A and B are shown apart, each in its own frame.
Chain A
Amino acid sequence: MSIKIALAGNPNSGKTTLFNNLTGTNQHVGNWPGVTVEKKEGRLKKHKNVEIVDLPGIYSLSPYSLEEVIARDYIIKEKPDLIIDIVDGTNLERNLYLSTQLIETGIPVVLAVNMMDKVSKNQDSINLENLRKYFNTDVIGISALKSEGIDELIQIALKKIELSKEFVPIVWFNENIEKVLAQLVSRLKDNVDEKQLRWYAIKLFEHDKLFIDNINQNNDLLEAANKIIDSSFNNIDTESLITEGRYQYIDKIYDRIFIKNKLQREKISHSIDKVLTNKWLSLPIFAVVMFLVYYISISTIGGLMADFVNDVIFGDGGIPDILRNGLHAINASSWIEGVLVDGIVGGVGAVLGFLPMMLVLFILLGILEESGYMARIAFILDRIFRRFGLSGKSFIPMLISTGCAIPGIMASRTIQDEQSRKMTVMTTSFMPCGAKLPIIALISGALFSNSPIQWMIAPSAYFFGISAIIISGIVLKKFKAFAGEPAPFIMELPDYSIPRFTSLCHHVWNKLKSFIIKAGTVILAASIVIWFLSSFNFRFHMVEDVDTSILASIGKVIEVVFSPLGWGNWKAAVATFTGLVAKENVVGTFGVLYGFAEVAEDGSEIWAVLSADFSPLSAYSFLLFNLICAPCFAAIGAIRREMGTAKWTWIAIGYQTLLAYVFSLVLFQIGRLFLGFFTFGTIIGIIVIGIMIYLIFIKKRPERYLVENERIIRN
């Protein structure tokens, strides 16, 4: 028989660490249909019949936020055999608040008090025996980080499932409330499962919106219930009463559970914050940190490593030559040599060459994520983001997107209000992701290698990414679908912690892996297709000159679209389209079309060929377009999941591509104006700028009452 155990707990309580601990490496990430939030699922080590489900981190089981609704729906509808409630021992009060709600669901709960090592390090102590008594459930102290108490936890959990003791509800609330709850329970008796009676009674008492929507058909029950509630609590916010009741219960017993040391030390995090969130220093420090992250990963360490891979491994005397010599030795036909050396090695190699950059970037982002600095960034920048209709929390998806847009887009679900969330989903992929790094590096190397502004190219990509987001924020807010009051922004600032080596490796490897897999699959396939299309003509004869190939014919049709942007050459047009499969493909496609694998004196020759087809201005316009336009198919898939409808997905990618076109057009046409060219395109450019100025500065936000009226009608 299969057993299901759910892991629940506050964000940052060490749930994921415990999950990895319990399941070992045997985990996979599963998406449930119709649900935008991902729940992790794995199998318990040494007990393969036990399924562990990692629910999203939550503070409460309220009906207001997506994660909380997901967690409670899972518990109430799927009815796992047991809940392991991970309680952060260093933050007992608020964690136990969630425990009171989990216990009420009627599912057996084991309280795993985590971070016991930290508690004793602080010289505090927790009386687990009393906790057991006051919560009437099994309690165990663990340290997920140090793998202490895990085996015991598993034993207790499995034994508890085996015994399946009867559910005895604990009385948290005061007499007046309990009296009404008892009445509600007796009214509900015939309608719901006995174990869930108390849960439902409390939901009725709270006037829980979601719950009431669910039992809509049973109006008699609802009416009767409301009569019971109103007789004692007419016109009183019963939901708040329940919340207060829970905390009051915890307050009452808290001294007997948590024994605080007498020391009055200042928390280390607060000392660090004196500098990092300092009034004057925080913004400069933030700017320096961000600059360093991208400077180190693109221009220095990562760049050097990438050069090494490109020059030595894929360069002269490297893999391409060895392969070519080998093929000559066995007298392979020229098309085999073509597909292997020019197609596969050229395309995949061009992408793999940039892997070191991504490696360094992921390590640095991982450190930022694990250290707790991310939350401070949101704190520092919220003011700015709110101005543009986004939340400080929007910054976290954006920062994650600099690694990969897919987890970035998914991270947007922590944003509570619908408008900010949609806007974040739409705009977060403007941040240059790891796969766009190769494009940046290529353009910066090929067209700006001797230019005094070369060092600015990579940072400017991020600058334009952020600008695109800000402009979108301002402009989109002026359309009804996005208008509305800013949503509440309440966030926990976790304690700083030193990133742990193993989890950092885990984190970096997981991200890098997907890039390597992509290189071996999608990009490999695309490289072969591109090679084929660029090596044959319509009569399927091999061509000497790529300009007579099938691909050239196709490219020459679509290049017209991009002419106003300055790069109306078919190779660039084709590269842009292959970028939809995966952004690394843009470089991969250039690799095949310009024969990267063949030219390799010191790598700079590669650039020379490219610079023949581009001017610095048109190359930058090309870069800009590819940074901002619709992301890769995988990211579009993520947008589709988070938006929920095809219509919104199309709006999103349509908007992204339009904005990319506008940015590149303005940049190229106005840039040319400065270089002394005035053409028809310049006029178009100026008109577009005019429209942008109108949208940004002049057009007014829709009146608020209009929005509200619409809501009333819809309801």
Chain B
Amino acid sequence: MITLDKAIINTDVVVSSITGEQALKRRLMDLGILPGVKIFVRKIAPLGDPIEITVKNTDLTLRKHDAKNVSVEPISQS
């Protein structure tokens, strides 16, 4: 298990849990980042932060610092 900020670009991951301050947690969940949801880690900004992810067919960007609060399980590429 890793945190979302460490996920490899261009891979899919599945959310296992979300921690952190209630406001941030709620925000992430409101946007569909929930346990069991598949996330595609799309790219990283040119200066190394933030990252871009696709979740529920929407592109979102968030900082690595905030992405730390999302624990994910990489899906092994077949």
Contacts and interface: CB of A to CB of B under 8 A. Distances in A.
A243 B26 contact: yes
A318 interface: no
Interface in B7-52: 18, 22-32, 34-35, 42-50, 52
Contact of B62 (A64, A65, A269, A490): A490
A244 B66 CA distance: 20
A488 B46 contact: no
B77 interface: no
Interface stretch (A90-98, A402-410, A550-558, A599-607): A90-98
B32 A97 contact: yes
B6 interface: no
Nearest to A491: B61
B76 interface: no
A283 B35 contact: no
Given A379-B52, A379-B61, A488-B63, A244 B46 contact: no
A243 B25 CA distance: 10
B5 to A, nearest CB: 13
A93 B63 contact: no
B18 A240 contact: yes
Nearest to B63: A489
B61 A490 contact: yes
A379 B50 contact: yes
B58 interface: yes
B64 to A, nearest CB: 10
Contacts of B29: 240, 243-244
Nearest to B43: A277
A515 B52 CA distance: 39
A93 B38 CA distance: 14
A492 B47 CA distance: 19
Interface in A40-69: 59-60, 62, 64-65
Contacts of B66: 488-490
B47 A383 contact: yes
B22 to A, nearest CB: 7
A634 interface: no
Contacts, number: 116
Contacts of B45: 277, 282, 379-380, 382-383
Given A97-B32, A279-B46, A380-B45, A269 B59 contact: yes
B46 A243 contact: no
Contacts of B44: 279
A91 B57 contact: yes
A202 to B, nearest CB: 14
B2 interface: no
Interface in A235-287: 237, 239-240, 243-244, 247, 269-270, 273, 277-280, 282-283
A671 interface: no
Contacts of A97: 30, 32
Given A239-B22, A239-B26, A243-B26, A486 B65 contact: yes
Contacts of A59: 30-31
Contacts of A270: 42, 59
A493 interface: yes
B25 to A, nearest CB: 7
Contacts of A141: none
B60 interface: yes
Interface in A61-100: 62, 64-65, 90-91, 93-94, 97
A416 B61 CA distance: 15
A392 interface: yes
Interface string A406-432: 000000000010000000000000000
Contacts of A243: 26, 29-30, 34
A488 B22 CA distance: 12
Interface string A273-309: 1000111101100000000000000000000000000
Q: Which of B18, B26, B48 has the largest number of chain A CB atoms within 10 A?
A: B26
A646 interface: no
B59 A490 contact: no
Contacts of A269: 59
A386 interface: yes
A90 B58 CA distance: 9
A244 B35 contact: yes
Interface string A373-401: 00100111011101000001000000000
Interface in A354-387: 375, 378-380, 382-384, 386
B31 A277 contact: no
B46 A380 contact: yes
A483 to B, nearest CB: 17
Nearest to A91: B58
Q: Which of A239, A269, A277, A416 has the largest number of chain B CB atoms within 10 A?
A: A277
Given A277-B43, A382-B50, A62 B31 contact: no
Nearest to A378: B61
Contacts of B63: 382, 386, 486, 488-490
Contacts of B18: 240
B60 A492 contact: yes
Nearest to B33: A490
B60 A94 contact: no
Given A277-B45, A488-B63, A490-B60, A240 B25 contact: yes
CB-CB nearest 5 A-B residue pairs = A383-B47, A60-B30, A493-B59, A64-B23, A243-B29
Interface of A: 59-60, 62, 64-65, 90-91, 93-94, 97, 237, 239-240, 243-244, 247, 269-270, 273, 277-280, 282-283, 375, 378-380, 382-384, 386, 392, 416, 486, 488-493
Given A239-B22, A277-B46, A392-B50, 8 more contacts: A64-B22, A90-B57, A97-B30, A240-B29, A270-B59, A379-B45, A493-B59, A493-B61
30 contacts: A60-B26, A91-B57, A91-B58, A93-B32, A94-B32, A97-B32, A239-B22, A240-B26, A247-B34, A270-B59, A277-B46, A280-B46, A282-B45, A283-B47, A375-B61, A379-B50, A382-B45, A382-B63, A383-B47, A383-B48, A383-B50, A489-B50, A489-B63, A490-B31, A490-B60, A491-B60, A491-B61, A491-B62, A492-B60, A493-B60
